[in-house]
């Protein structure tokens, strides 16, 4: 409701009638609509009226006959009843000015809070920590408990979950998982940066930086959740304040990330592999956990290069990397280890789970030809080798060696299959790419 709408709480119906007769510039409402008003006229003739606490009220004009002993509340203007009803306009204007001042001060306080948070966000280097902070702030402003933030991942060319405390939000591999296109479009067209769709039970908030859609916040809402104009305005102000920072953090993270990536396939490079595997090994030792690595070498890529040329071979490698990335989890790391060899690092994954991942990747290769041009289709398979820490090795070098030997054992026999390191591999020399 607008600031010119005034709520009236009185046990005497004549009060609101006289106000309507004398103040044509104001709209007066009672009953349930009065609960939404910033400015109220409260008649002391009713104890229930004095004790009413509409959650939106900021200023109250309290009418009394001069004998009021009720405790004064902040924002109360106490006036004699008959004098007010004879000429209510000036007092109501003063009450509205008071409400405007309080609302403006609250908004300034909120803006200071946003600036403080922006400063804190700029100091964060972990995208997930930034995503969690932003998402939880939005949830608090809306007064709801669960939600998820999806950020665009240029490697996968789709949006992935960056933070979620909502069990219903899952990364399905879709371009924008769980986001109805029509609701998103409505949110993008809205000056409020938010669209609430009761039919789908969702509130959608796009995050834009320099006209690029870098992410979307998805919040499930129930029939009992109330998202009013004040909450919508607060979310809009907050997102306007922090989205650019989120975009900057996102771009900085991308820049650092690209330095660790292979230029051709956008998978991680050998430099990343060496440092990350050290970290994963240390983490597993410290917490007594396990992890697995998968080495895979493409079968007969040289024939593609010889028949179609190296440009087609390069495009084949790009498509291979895409299919691997689409077949693994967000926490798994895909590395181009060298030439036509890739490695997948699988945190908290045992041998059987790693075999399942390898078979999923293998099937992703053979499920459909690699269509590189309208008239060029390539069929590619790969040989896979798996080693698990600490079951197969206690050092990084031995783990790499055993996975590599398991892969070459497949490569030299059946191809297009998955091999697992054995105890015998521990005594065999490795053949590693340079």
- Which CATH number does the domain housing residue 75 bear? 3.40.50.2300
Is residue 121 scored above 70 in pLDDT?
no
**pLDDT per residue as tens digits for the range 239-298:** 887 777 777 766 766 666 677 888 898 899 998 898 889 989 998 998 899 999 999 999
Tell me: do 280 and 418 sit in the same domain.
yes
Between 173-177, 178-182, 254-258, 265-269, the lowest mean confidence (pLDDT) is in 254-258
169-197: average pLDDT: 83
Tell me: do 317 and 416 sit in the same domain.
yes
In a domain, 324, yes or no: yes
Give residues with Cβ within 8 angstroms of 228, minimum separation 6: 36
Question: Checking DSSP bridges between strand 202-209 and strand 212-220, what pairing results, if any?
Answer: antiparallel
Question: What angle do the packed helices 89-123 and 127-142 form, to 10 degrees?
Answer: 160
Tell me: do 296 and 384 sit in the same domain.
yes
Task: Check residue 400 and give its pLDDT.
Answer: 95
Task: Check residue 260 and give its pLDDT.
Answer: 84
Domain ranges, residue 222: 124-259
In a domain, 163, yes or no: yes
Task: Check residue 140 and give its pLDDT.
Answer: 87
Contact yes or no for 29/7 (Cβ under 8 A): yes
pTM above 0.75, yes or no: no
Task: Check residue 203 and give its pLDDT.
Answer: 92
Is residue 53 scored above 60 in pLDDT?
no
Task: Check residue 46 and give its pLDDT.
Answer: 62
42-53: average pLDDT: 66
Task: Check residue 293 and give its pLDDT.
Answer: 97
Tell me: do 219 and 288 sit in the same domain.
no
Residue with tokens 């002993």: 69
Best CA proximity match to 241, nearest among 107, 105, 118: 118
Q: Please, which residues bridge with residue 216 across strands?
A: 150, 206
Give residues with Cβ within 8 angstroms of 339, minimum separation 6: 433
Mean pLDDT of the chain: 84
**pLDDT per residue as tens digits for the range 127-163:** 677 788 888 988 988 889 999 999 887 656 678 888 8
**Alpha helices per DSSP H over 260-389:** 270-287, 301-308, 310-327, 351-366
Tell me: do 286 and 407 sit in the same domain.
yes
Task: Check residue 281 and give its pLDDT.
Answer: 92
Q: Which CATH number do you get for residue 372?
A: 3.30.70.270
Question: What angle do the packed helices 270-287 and 396-411 form, to 10 degrees?
Answer: 120
Between 65-79, 298-312, 347-361, 363-377, the lowest mean confidence (pLDDT) is in 65-79
Q: Compute CA distances 98 → 25, 63, 64, 410, whole Å.
A: 18, 17, 20, 79
Name the pLDDT band for 126 (thresholds 50, 70, 90): low
Tally of domains within the chain: 3
Task: Check residue 69 and give its pLDDT.
Answer: 67
Is residue 21 scored above 60 in pLDDT?
yes
352-377: average pLDDT: 91
In a domain, 280, yes or no: yes
């Amino acid at each position: 409701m607008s600031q010119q709408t005034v709520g009236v709480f009185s046990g005497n119906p004549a009060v609101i009638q006289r106000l309507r007769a004398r103040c044509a510039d104001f709209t007066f409402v009672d009953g349930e609509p009065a609960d939404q008003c910033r400015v109220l006229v409260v008649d002391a003739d009713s104890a229930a009226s004095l004790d009413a606490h509409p959650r939106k009220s900021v200023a109250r004009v309290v009418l009394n006959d001069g004998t009021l002993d009720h405790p004064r509340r902040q924002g109360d203007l106490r006036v004699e009843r008959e004098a007010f009803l004879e000429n209510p306009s000036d007092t109501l204007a003063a009450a509205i000015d008071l409400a405007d001042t309080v609302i403006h001060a609250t908004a300034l306080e909120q803006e200071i809070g946003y600036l403080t948070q922006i400063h804190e966000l700029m100091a964060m280097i972990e995208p997930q920590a930034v995503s969690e902070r932003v998402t939880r702030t939005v949830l608090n402003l809306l007064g709801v408990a669960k939600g998820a933030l999806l950020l665009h991942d240029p490697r996968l060319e789709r949006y992935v979950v960056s933070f979620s405390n909502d069990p219903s939000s899952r990364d399905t591999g879709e371009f924008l998982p769980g986001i109805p296109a029509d609701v998103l479009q409505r949110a993008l067209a809205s000056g409020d940066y938010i669209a609430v769709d009761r039919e789908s039970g969702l509130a959608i908030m796009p995050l834009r930086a320099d006209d690029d859609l870098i992410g979307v916040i998805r919040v499930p809402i129930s029939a009992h959740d109330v998202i009013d104009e004040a909450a919508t305005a607060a979310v809009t102000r907050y997102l306007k304040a922090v989205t650019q920072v989120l975009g900057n953090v996102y771009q900085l993270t991308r820049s650092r990330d690209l330095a660790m990536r292979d230029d051709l396939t956008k998978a991680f490079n050998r430099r990343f592999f060496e440092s990350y595997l050290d970290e994963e090994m240390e983490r597993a030792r410290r917490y007594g956990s396990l992890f697995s690595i998968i080495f895979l070498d493409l079968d007969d890529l040289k024939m593609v290069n010889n028949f179609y040329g190296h440009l087609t071979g390069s495009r084949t490698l790009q498509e291979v990397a895409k299919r691997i990335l689409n077949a693994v989890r967000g926490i798994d790391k895909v590395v181009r280890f060298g030439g036509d060899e890739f490695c997948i690092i699988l945190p908290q994954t045992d041998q059987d789970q790693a075999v399942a991942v390898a078979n999923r990747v293998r099937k992703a290769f053979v499920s459909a030809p690699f269509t590189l041009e309208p008239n060029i289709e390539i069929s590619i398979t790969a040989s896979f080798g798996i080693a698990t820490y600490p079951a197969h090795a206690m050092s990084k070098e031995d783990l790499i060696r055993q996975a590599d030997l398991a892969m070459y054992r497949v490569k030299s026999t059946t191809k297009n299959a998955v091999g697992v390191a054995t105890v015998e591999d521990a005594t065999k020399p490795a053949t590693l790419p340079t």
